[in-house]
Amino acid sequence: MMRRAGSAALVAGCLLLAACAGGGRTPLPTVTGPTDGAPPAPPVTTVPEAAPPAATSAEGAARDTTPEVPTPTRLAARHAVAQLGAPYLYGGAGPRGFDCSGLVQYAFGMVGVSLPRDTREQRRRGRRLDDPRTLEPGDLLFFRDNRRGMMHVGLYVGDGRFVHAPSKGGKVRMDAFGASHWQRRFIEARRLAEA
């Protein structure tokens, strides 16, 4: 009787060691029959890891872990963000200073996409987006300026924000596209064809 109990304990110990040596992986099932009339060892079970809690739709959008495809327009948006804090410079299109269309031209130029220097000419590029809720990073946003006949352009960067070079004495900054100031002046959004 003592020998049978020792055999059962030995089998159970081996199964436990095999499960531990598996690095947390579920062990393959083994089929064993009774030996010398000893009762079969209890089955070894593992508890699967708990799945993370499901996020609400608002949280899901903020925590989306889908890898971002590095398209030229998305990369241009990143280049524009990298210029935050650069001084406004009328006619500026380089890292020492920017005006609004110069920032857009610079950001796209960094990814090999040639754009005209003038805001009106930039507005003729790409296709008009009928629904601003479909904006993607790199889309161009056009606004009426307070000055007669002037336009302003910014680069959408995601999460309801855009980057632009606002005006004399200012710096390249990020603003909320949904702010009433910008919504009152919004003309259209345009998406450039991927280069």
CB-CB contact of 47 with 125 (8 Å): no
DSSP 108-170: HHTTT----SSHHHHHTSSEEES-GGG--TT-EEEEE-SSTT-EEEEEEEETTEEEE--STT-
How far apart CA 107 and CA 116 sit, in angstroms, is 12
Q: What percent of the chain has pLDDT over 90?
A: 56
- The yes-or-no verdict on residue 160 having pLDDT over 50 is yes
| pLDDT of the residue at 55 | 44
**Mean pLDDT, residues 116-123 taken together:** 95
147 compared with 174, residue with greater pLDDT: 174
34 compared with 115, residue with greater pLDDT: 115
Q: Just list the catalytic residues.
A: 100, 152, 164
169 compared with 129, residue with greater pLDDT: 129
pTM of the model: 0.65
pLDDT digit string (tens) for 10-30?
Answer: 444 444 344 444 444 333 333
| pLDDT of the residue at 19 | 41
Q: How far is CA 29 from CA 19, 45, 46, in A?
A: 11, 10, 12
| pLDDT of the residue at 37 | 45
- The yes-or-no verdict on residue 126 having pLDDT over 60 is yes
pLDDT digit string (tens) for 79-100?
Answer: 999 999 999 999 999 989 999 9
| pLDDT of the residue at 26 | 36
| pLDDT of the residue at 66 | 57
| pLDDT of the residue at 64 | 53
Provide the pLDDT confidence category of residue 70 given band limits of 50, 70 and 90.
Answer: confident
Estimate to the nearest angstrom the gap between the alpha carbon of 164 and the chain centroid.
20
Mean pLDDT of the chain: 76
Provide the pLDDT confidence category of residue 67 given band limits of 50, 70 and 90.
Answer: low
User: Could you tell me the domains of the chain?
Assistant: 2-48 (no CATH), 72-191 (3.90.1720.10)
CB-CB contact of 192 with 108 (8 Å): yes
